[in-house]
Amino acid sequence: MGWLLMYIERKQQLAIIVIAAVLLFTAGHRVALWKSSPKDSPVDVNQLVTEGSTREISVHVTGAVQRPGVYSFPGQARVMDAVEKAVPLAAADMQGINLARLLKDGEKIEIPEKAEAVQSPKVSSGVKTVTPAGPARVNINRAGVRELESLPGLGPALAQRVINYRENKGLFTSEEEIKNVPGIGEKKYEQIKGRITVNQ
């Protein structure tokens, strides 16, 4: 029986050795595969920043600027750089523009003009200036003696002659016709022509 036990123990030892060898082989194979697989290289942040800053972008600047057009800048350029390049006019309204914003490739930046200044209303002092109106014209077809006497150079006698002429000859058809009244010639007519009418 002793030899049988020794035989069984030897078979167990061989089995253990075989199992151990298989495990070692499997582990070694996995390690070899892991070492042979490509590794992801670490990301270089500084490299990304450098690439972003050297990348060139183009923007279109229009509006209230002296030199509108397309300008190219590094990737880290800002709106302020584009505005300075185009030279804003004195009338440019920069209040609503974020000059610190990073530029975007292909964008259009339009600089608006300032709204026209609203004129302040004039404040009235409350005193109205009344422009004196010129003397009212006298209708020589309707005026009586007193109204006719108000004309320069016409006294009661001439005023009555105007009325007599009107009653005898009919209404005046023009202002110049008054020169036909005895005593009213060209000189006196020049004095009163701006004060008489036949149409009112």
What local confidence, expressed as pLDDT, does residue 20 receive? 72
- The total number of structural domains that make up the chain: 2
What local confidence, expressed as pLDDT, does residue 109 receive? 92
* 4 domain residue, yes or no: no
Q: Give the number of other Cβ atoms within 10 Å of residue 160's Cβ.
A: 14
Mean pLDDT over each residue of the chain, to the nearest integer: 78
* 176 domain residue, yes or no: yes
CA distances from 45 to 1, 93, 127, 192 (A): 75, 39, 77, 101
Q: What is the residue range of 193's domain?
A: 138-197
* 186 domain residue, yes or no: yes
Segment 168-177 long-range contacts (CB within 8 Å, at least 24 positions apart)? 171/141, 171/198, 172/140, 172/141, 172/198, 173/198, 174/198, 175/140
Q: Is 109 helix (H, G, I), strand (E, B) or coil?
A: strand
Assess whether pLDDT exceeds 60 at residue 38.
no
Of 153, 164, 166, nearest to 194 by C-alpha is: 153
Assess whether pLDDT exceeds 60 at residue 29.
yes
What local confidence, expressed as pLDDT, does residue 131 receive? 53
What local confidence, expressed as pLDDT, does residue 55 receive? 86
Assess whether pLDDT exceeds 50 at residue 15.
yes
* 143 domain residue, yes or no: yes
Residues 5-32 have a mean pLDDT of 70
Assess whether pLDDT exceeds 80 at residue 28.
no
Co-location of 106 and 71 in the same domain:
yes
What local confidence, expressed as pLDDT, does residue 184 receive? 85
Q: How far apart are CA 45 and CA 74, in angstroms?
A: 18
pLDDT in tens, 46-88: 555 555 556 899 999 998 898 999 999 998 899 989 999 899 8
Structure tokens at 136: 């009212």
What local confidence, expressed as pLDDT, does residue 68 receive? 92
What local confidence, expressed as pLDDT, does residue 119 receive? 45
Q: What percent of the chain has pLDDT over 90?
A: 20
Of 113, 81, 79, 70, nearest to 97 by C-alpha is: 79
CATH number at residue 76: 3.10.20
Q: What percent of the chain has pLDDT over 70?
A: 71
More confident residue, 43 or 22: 22
pLDDT in tens, 125-145: 555 555 555 678 889 888 888
* 165 domain residue, yes or no: yes
Instruction: Note whether 172 and 198 are within 8 A (CB).
Output: yes
CATH number at residue 148: 1.10.150.320
Residues 94-121 have a mean pLDDT of 80
